[in-house]
Amino acid sequence: MKNEWKGMLDHLPDAIIITDKLGAVRAFNNNTLQLLGYEAERLIDRSLCQFLNKVSATEIMNRLLNTLEGVSQIPVEHHELEIIRKDGKIVPVQTGIVPFISQGIPYVCFALRDISVFREQILRLKDENLQLKNTLSRSKENNERLTDFNEIISHNLRGPVTNLQLLLNLYNYESEPNKKEFLMEKFDKVVSGLNHTLDVLVESVQFKRSPEKNKSLDLKEILERTQNLLIAQIDSSDCIIESDFSKVRWVAYNQIYMESIFLNLIGNAIKYRSENRRLLIEIKSWKDKEHLMLSFKDNGLGIDLDKHQKDIFGFKKVFHNHPDAKGIGLFMTKTQIESQGGSIKVKSEPGQGCCFIISLN
């Protein structure tokens, strides 16, 4: 049988193996010897399954039986299998299975094509695709970071600029030299604070620092800078700011975010103060188990949580009729805190003020 088919099989471009219905090798061509690495005498009469891994062998035997059942219809099936060479190397092959009958005896012809290079190309394409996805992911993160900076700049610089405008108006209408000098000192404090904020933002952009980059921060210094930035609003509202950082004064946190939290929550307390009493803002820090805690409490207008609990940190959600209300500050504050693994909640009643409690991760 082998000699009868050999001349024809050697002219075919693929490795060709012919087996009987039990899978025993009855004929093959020279390409088969090159593919498997065996000598001719080592192949004849051996089971084809001996040259396949366990999974491929089981699949081949199942396909062999199914194919022979429909031999009269001469179906052609294609599969990907893995053969084991004589040197132990596993080679992926694409297999075409064709049943036929010769002299009344059923046989199966296997055409084996090495697809190692094709597999390598697929793996390389997958790797390149993964790298592309990672690049796109980094680009998305960078875009989100730039959007984050843009929100901080557009929202958080509004307060200091308003203070500068207020101080400038007072300075222009003031005639007494001593009072003008006093206003200029406050003007200088706001400008210094504004320069610091811009320096931090520019430094973050220049060095491509991630928003998750933390550093050791002095809460007392953060508060002092915030007061300098809002000095005109603090003076005009005659508010009192009390702080207690005796339990926790230093925290490892993102500087831009921490300054943004102080600026937003203190600025909101001033913006939504009650006209019936002097504004008091109390800021405290402490440690609760493994979490650092911050609270900002005021005696302002308060918020009706029965109505607005779900929207309290929503984007562009406002709860009082105020000309400067944008509904962005609390949304941005919550987003920044949660991006660092923390959380924020609020306790409030109408006319009783608000208390924002922050858990820093």
- How would you write the pLDDT of the chain (361 residues) with one tens digit per residue? 455 666 678 888 889 988 888 888 888 998 999 999 988 888 888 888 888 877 777 777 776 666 665 544 445 556 788 888 889 898 888 888 888 888 888 888 888 888 888 888 888 888 888 888 877 776 676 666 666 666 666 666 666 777 777 777 777 777 787 877 777 777 777 777 776 666 666 555 544 444 456 789 999 999 998 998 888 888 888 999 999 999 999 999 988 889 889 988 998 899 889 989 999 999 999 999 888 999 999 999 988 888 877 777 766 666 556 555 555 678 888 888 888 889 999 999 888 999 999 999 7
pLDDT score, position 248: 94
Separation between Cα atoms, residue 101 and residue 78, nearest integer Å = 19
CB neighbours (10 Å) of residue 275?
7
DSSP for 234-271, please give it: HHHHT-EEEEE-SS--EEEE-HHHHHHHHHHHHHHHHH
| Neighbour-count burial of 181, counting CB atoms closer than 10 A to its CB (0-12 exposed, 13-18 middle, 19+ buried) | exposed
Q: What is the pLDDT of residue 72?
A: 44
Phi then psi for 85, rounded to 5 degrees? -70, 170
Instruction: Report the C-alpha gap between 234 and 263 in whole angstroms.
Output: 12
pTM: 0.48
**Nearest to 167, CA basis, from 224, 237, 233:** 233
Count of helix runs (H) and strand runs (E) in the chain: 11, 12
What does the pLDDT read at residue 98? Answer: 80
- State residue 322's pLDDT score: 54
- Which residues, other chains included, contact 71 with Cβ-Cβ below 8 Å and sequence gap of 6+? 99, 100, 101, 106
